[in-house]
Chain A
Amino acid sequence: MSDGIEGDASVSDERERAFNERLDRSLKIEPTNWMPDAYRKTLVRQISQHAHSEIVGMLPEGNWITRAPSLQRKLILLAKVQDEAGHGLYLYSAAETLGTPRDEMVAALHAGKAKYSSIFNYPTLQWADVGAIGWLVDGAAIINQIPITRCSYGPYARAMVRICKEESFHQRQGFDIMWTLAHGTPEQHAMAQDALDRWWWPAVMMFGPPDTDSTHNEQSLRWKIKLFTNDELRQKFIDQTVPQAEQLGLVIPDPHLRWNAEKEHYEIGSIDWDEFYRVIRGDGPCNKDRLQTRIEAWEEGAWVREAAAEYARKRGAQSASP
């Protein structure tokens, strides 16, 4: 493991020992602390991926802002999507503390080199999808993210505290949309069921591949970037969500779903991992559209960013002149 200082193994060992000791004592690693390159790289990958998910995640719900069915719903949805932009900004900032500029991360996204949560490659076909995203996708995100508030990297952990508070509001707004639809007209109830049918499995897959196949699990657990395994978090989500679906009077689209009284957990049918990997590879229903939309926004905005930079340059030149 290189630390940039060549030929002095004892300095390197000493720094690594100090780093590991901080981890063992559950102290935060801060941007000014020495850290192994691989730790830094893993964090940049994870945090930027998380930031991209927030930004790309604005698109499926953003679809429905202009078409929300009441002013109240419209305001809430607009505020929620705005929160996601804010989350993206905190997260890019957290990643920047590790030395990678935002533009570089965004360029990696646009070049198709960086990943974002695959869930956003599914379409929002009708209004209830906005409810299902809030309820299921944000519900899953919270379960994934709450442990990160205790992760070892300080800026990431602190960004997640605020993000989780807002996410829990988002989850409730989603549930509230589903509740209203499920208790509305028969047509509205059918909309809610249709959305659950399409979003359930993708939400279950959000926790990533099973522990047996997950490549990053072990190292990330040791570094305290990850505190629970994919399957542990997935189980938590299922146990939490099944009773909520019952409250809503909606049916989870899984004939094998059953309560295991002995284990005190729900058991689900088998997950279609072929679909999961297919969507990750780029063949989900919306992968191309999502990325293209982000690229277009970026490219169409280039002249605005150039104008702002040029204006700032002129002002700077003016104030610098006598």
Chain B
Amino acid sequence: MIATARDPRVEYVMRLGDNALVLAQRLCAWIAHAPVMEEDVALANVSLDLFGQARLWLGYAGELEGAGRDEDHFAFHRAASGFRNVLLVERPNGDFAATTVRGYFFDLWSYLALGELARSRDERIAAIAGKTRKETAYHLRRSEDWLIRLGDGTPESHARTQHAVNDLWRYTGEPFLRDEIDAAMLDAGVGFDPATLLDPWNERVRSAFSAATLAIPSDPWMQRGGKSGLHTEQLSYLLAEMQALPRSMPEAAW
């Protein structure tokens, strides 16, 4: 299904789209179940933004590929192994602390990455990054705010948040790993070197964690695989739910 000879930009843009899509799908499951009604509205906003971002990226991936796949084809008719998102975003929602921590780790990476991509030589990528970075700045402000409030809230909220950090930390290395697709995009002036984002990411995490009275785990092993289609067990459940209807009637339009 994946042609190896194609433009590496397809793969590159798919990764961006899949990150947004999978996290958006996770977040939309919160709606009507949030701790306060204001958070139903806020989580819906972030989810809506991310679905919007996914549509922009996947629409462009389809155009670059030129094989007739549109956003819905990418979203609903690929198996888990066809998805290129980092493992972090597919981790289950868990409690509000887990959702917040996952969101914070991703939002911060995404904000930094979009800053780099806004300078891409590919004008379309630069334009999408420029637009979506503004939304992401808000997502980051919100998730960082909650991270600090929960970390420095009650003993229970602190314990839950630290637990979520310990659980998710192992998924924070993958976004900074450079593979051959990243290298090709860097060479072409389309992409950036993900490793260069690690320091600014760590710096801001340290400062936020300090305000949140949270400890950074020392566990050095970082899980990886999502960017090349090797996912955690949870992704296929997410897709089974998301894709069931269009897959059950492949000839139908919706």
Contact = CB atoms under 8 A, between A and B. Distances in A.
Interface in B200-254: 241-242, 244-246, 249, 251-254
Given A69-B246, A82-B48, A301-B35, A74 B28 contact: yes
B97 to A, nearest CB: 8
Interface stretch (B2-10, B36-44, B136-144): B36-44
Interface residues of A, number: 45
Interface string A67-90: 111111111001101100110110
Interface residues of B, number: 47
A27 to B, nearest CB: 32
A151 B172 CA distance: 55
A119 to B, nearest CB: 16
B252 to A, nearest CB: 5
Q: Majority SS of interface residues in chain B? A: helix
A298 B42 CA distance: 16
B88 to A, nearest CB: 19
Interface string A284-303: 00000000010011001111
Interface string B64-99: 000000011001100000000000000000011000
Contact of B71 (A62, A71, A78, A180): A71
A43 B52 CA distance: 40
Contacts of B241: 66-67
Contacts of B130: none
Interface stretch (A155-163, A184-192, A233-241, A247-255): A184-192
B195 interface: no
Contacts of B160: 303
A304 B52 contact: no
A66 B32 contact: no
B51 A75 contact: yes
B31 interface: yes
A88 B36 CA distance: 12
Contacts of A133: none
B44 A82 contact: yes
Contact of B252 (A187, A302, A303): A187
A301 B41 CA distance: 15
Interface in B124-173: 148-150, 152-154, 156-157, 160
A306 interface: yes
A67 B245 contact: yes
Nearest to B51: A75
B24 to A, nearest CB: 9
Contacts of B102: none
B245 A185 contact: no
Interface stretch (A13-21, A30-38, A270-278, A308-316): A308-316
A293 B30 CA distance: 12
Contacts of B242: 66-67
B156 A303 contact: yes
A70 B51 contact: no
A302 B52 CA distance: 31
A307 B157 contact: yes
B47 A78 contact: yes
A23 interface: no
A286 to B, nearest CB: 13
Contacts of B55: 71, 75
A89 B51 contact: no
A238 B35 CA distance: 39
A127 interface: yes
Contacts of B40: 58, 82, 85
A69 B72 CA distance: 9
13 contacts: A58-B40, A59-B32, A62-B31, A69-B254, A70-B254, A79-B44, A81-B44, A86-B41, A297-B35, A301-B96, A305-B36, A310-B153, A310-B157
